Amino acid sequence: MALDKIETGAEVHRTSVSEKKLSDHALIEATKNGDEAAFAEIVARYRNPITNYLYRFLNDYEEAVDLSQETFVRVYFAIERYHTDYAFSTYIYRIATNLAISEIRKRKRRTILSLTGLFQTDVEDVTEFQPPDTRSLPDEDLLEDEKAGVIAKAIETLPVKYRVPIILRDIEGKTYDEIAEIMELGLGTTKSRISRARGLLKEKLKHYF
CB 73 to other proteins: min, Å: 6
Shortest separation between residue 169's beta carbon and other proteins, angstroms: 8
Q: Using CB under 8 A, list all residues that contact other proteins.
A: 1-4, 6-7, 40, 43-44, 47-48, 50-52, 55-56, 61, 64-65, 68-70, 72-74, 76-78, 128-130, 148, 151-152, 155, 166-167, 169-171, 173, 175-176, 188, 191-192, 194-195, 198-199, 201-202, 205, 208-209
Q: How far apart, in whole angstroms, are the C-alpha atoms of residue 92 and residue 70? A: 11
What is the SS3 assignment for 115? coil
Supply the minimum distance, in Å, between the C-beta of residue 112 and other proteins.
18
Residue type for position 114:
S
**Distances in Å between the alpha carbon of 25 and those of 4, 94, 120?**
21, 16, 48
> 30 and 58 in contact (C-beta within 8 Å)?
no
Which of 118, 132 has the CB closer to other proteins?
132
Q: What are the φ and ψ backbone dihedral angles of 127, each rounded to 5 degrees?
A: -110, 140
Smallest separation, CB 10 to other proteins (Å): 14
**Smaller CB distance to other proteins: residue 81 or 115?**
81
Residue 150 CB, shortest distance to other proteins, in Å, is 10
Q: DSSP string spanning 69-99?
A: HHHHHHHHHTGGG--TTS-HHHHHHHHHHHH
Q: Which is nearer to other proteins, 10 or 115 (CB)?
A: 10
Q: Rounded to 5 degrees, what angle do the CA atoms 64, 183, 74 make? A: 50
* Nearer Cβ to other proteins (121/130): 130
| DSSP assignments along 5-47, one per residue | HHH-HHHHHHHHHHHTTS-HHHHHHHHHTT-HHHHHHHHHHHH
